[in-house]
Amino acid sequence: MPACRLSPNLRKACAPPCLRSIDRSSTSSSPKRRLTYRIRDERTYFNDTWSTGIARRAILEAGRRLAADGRLHAAEDAVELAPDELFSALRGNGGPIAETAADRTAFRLGHTTDDAPEWVGGPPPGDPPPAEWLPPDAARGQRALTLVINSIFETKPGSRNSPMIAGIGASPGTATAAARLVRTPAEMGRLQQGDVLVTPYTSPAFNGVLPLVSAIVTDRGGSLSHAAIVAREFGIPAVVGCGDATRRIKDGQTIDVDGMAGTVSLK
């Protein structure tokens, strides 16, 4: 197997550390690397979701037993307990936990991330030290990290008095269709073929329904957010980071989405 499949011109453009990494990945161990790469790239599916599902089944079974014994009001309240609280309750130790768990459930279901304060623990932090203060390699890494973080979380402020909502054009193309507000994955069943998905943000949980939609509009996220990346993969227009799209757009309302201009026009 050749040391690297990059063209000569591309090899010249790569920094030496990048070339060394590419060359190492093209050695005899590359079949193993290709086999295991998806564990890193799709960790959400192959590791996190799978293991979380198993843990959830165990916790719900514990909750069912505690509810049957009168220690919880509902089996689902068990997910609100810390591990030591759950273990103690299963052993029959500790005080009453039913009201505490129920109160936590009510609080979680009654609030969203929109209710969280912008800053926690004091005044907002200042900007990080200038990259120029760092050694060249570290400075390059700092600039790249800052760019990626901003591209994931960037959000445009809302513009309530305008018939047009401005966001970040994350995937080119246009679409005119009915808006379908989906605030949680539990509401995905309301999506119809050709709808514009309007949601606070997306996650891998949305991937199965994205082939149905003609465009994506989100409140949060930048050009490297999940919604932006999957929209480009599916080839559908997307405007992300609009700030208040889910508040200004009505369910079923016809809207125009321009993924290149980063705008959503209300009809």
State yes or no: is 226 an active-site residue: yes
Query: For the residues 132-139, what does the mean pLDDT come to?
Result: 89
Secondary structure string (H, E, C) spanning 151-205:
HHHCCCCCCCCCCEEECEEEECCEEEEEEEECCCHHHHHHCCCCCEEEECCCCHH
229-265 pLDDT, tens digit each: 999 999 999 999 998 899 999 999 999 999 999 999 9
**Alpha carbons 93 and 160: distance in angstroms, whole number:** 54
Q: What is the pLDDT of residue 22?
A: 60
**Domains of the chain and CATH, by start:** 8-41 (no CATH), 43-111 (no CATH), 164-266 (3.50.30.10)
Residue 121: other Cβ atoms inside 10 A: 6
Catalytic residue, from 206, 226, 240, 262: name it.
Answer: 226
Q: What is the pLDDT of residue 4?
A: 46
What SS3 class is residue 34? helix
> Residue type at 94?
G
Is 112 in contact with 220 (CB distance < 8 Å)? no
pTM of the model: 0.64
Which residues are CB-neighbours of 148 under 8 A, at least 6 positions away?
A: 224
> Residue type at 245?
A
Distances (CA, A) of 69 to 39, 60, 62, 100: 41, 14, 11, 16
SS3 content of the chain, % helix, strand, coil (to 5): 50, 15, 40
Is 20 in contact with 4 (CB distance < 8 Å)? no
Give the neighbor-by-neighbor strand order of the sheet with 215-218: 164-166, 263-266, 254-258, 174-181, 196-199, 215-218, 238-240, 168-171
5-63 pLDDT, tens digit each: 566 776 676 667 666 666 665 554 556 666 655 556 566 666 777 888 899 999 999 99
142-196 pLDDT, tens digit each: 888 888 887 777 766 655 567 899 999 999 999 999 999 998 888 999 999 999 9
Phi–psi pair at 19, nearest 5 degrees: -65, -40
Q: What is the pLDDT of residue 91?
A: 92
Q: How does residue 1 score in pLDDT terms, banded at 50, 70 and 90?
A: very low
Nearest to 215 by CA among 253, 258, 246, 252: 258
**Alpha carbons 177 and 267: distance in angstroms, whole number:** 10
